[in-house]
A and B are shown apart, each in its own frame.
Chain A
Amino acid sequence: MSNRIKLQIARYRPEQESEATFDEYEVPYTKESAVLDGLNYVKDRLDGTLAYRWSCRMGICGSCGMDVNGEPKLTCATFLADYAPGPVRVEPLRNFPVIRDLIVDIDDFMRKLVRVKPWIVREVEKPVADGAYLQTPEQLDEYKQFSMCINCMLCYSACPIYGLDPNFIGPAAIALAQRYNLDNRDEGSAERMRVLSEHDGIWGCTFVGECTTVCPKHVDPAGAIQRYKLTAAVESMKSFFAPRGA
């Protein structure tokens, strides 16, 4: 027989109410049960109106990020047993507008992501006949850590700067920009620099460091931002002393 634990789930039904409320449900759990399993139990057995996002259940898709007892977590990788005897408070990710229940609007992040061109930019593509762009293991190691980002937005939820100034481009977008800047096949770092060196780019970050703490994939966005600040400062000095790009 399994144990039971109480979930206090934030509900927001825009057609009925103008503020969020909490509904309480009791769900069974074993030591393997994730918070997401608890939500699925509620949805399947107790209250089909509960709305939340999820997909892969294995920490890859980045859909199921929510606030669990005040900490941004991937609910598929957060276990109910760790919160026993409960209750477990599940809320939508902070710093994002809530659409319904646990679903937040991610449009702002998606717009920012595109601005940093998170793809390989080439000035001139070499012909297919010339073969693949080769890379050594050392060159891969340069950016591999930053390529682990799954766009789950936990870092945005943990970042007080983003909460206070929604124009800040944010941790994941900068980490992903670095992922491509540090890729030896890429030639787009100057284009990204124009976006990232703006007021709302890297300089908005005051290095709270919580983005790195909450990152479920150990991407270290705070480290990416500080490294990029150094790069931007060096570039700016270079352009000051050698304005013609000598």
Chain B
Amino acid sequence: MDQPAVSTPYHPRWLRRRVSTYWWLGKPAYLRFILREGSCMFVGWFTLYLLLLLAAVLEGPLAYELFVAWSATPALLALNVVTLAFVIFHAITFFQAAPQAMVVRLGRTRVPPQAVLLGHYAGWIVVSIVVAFFLLGA
């Protein structure tokens, strides 16, 4: 920028500021957003992992044994611990977002956002209990 900026009263030279590539590090809220969006990769992996488990179970006891052994390898264990953390983060942030997107009415009154949020958590707990019942009780 050796040349001095030139402008006339009617043709101002606007200053256009570029957004940094690292904008998402600029604020904790932006970083949380990127982590939330990134967490979908882990949700995808978790789904794939469940499908692989299902395939192993359907194939027979030997395939299941191999799958369990594979799951116990340190690398996969580490990946699954990180995945669990991200899946929980994804669920919590998804639930937090739900009351903003959903307007639920009972008659003429609007259900308060907190109640919508609690409804999601209640649903989560109920589903978890049902799953636990089948896994542990059966």
Contact = CB atoms under 8 A, between A and B. Distances in A.
Q: Which of A14, A94, A141, A213 has the most CB of B within 10 A?
A: A14
A210 interface: yes
B97 interface: yes
Contacts of A160: 19, 23-24, 30
B61 interface: no
Interface residues of A, number: 35
Contacts, number: 80
B135 to A, nearest CB: 34
Q: What does DSSP make chain B's interface, helix, strand, loop or mixed?
A: loop
B122 interface: no
B30 A12 contact: no
Contact of B12 (A94, A95, A100, A208): A100
Contact of B30 (A15, A20, A208, A226): A208
A16 B33 contact: no
B114 interface: no
B33 A209 contact: yes
Contacts of B73: none
Contact of B7 (A14, A70, A230): A14
A138 interface: yes
Interface in A78-119: 94-95, 97-100, 105
A212 B101 contact: no
Interface of B: 1, 4-7, 12-17, 19, 23-24, 26-27, 29-30, 33, 37, 97, 100-103, 108, 110
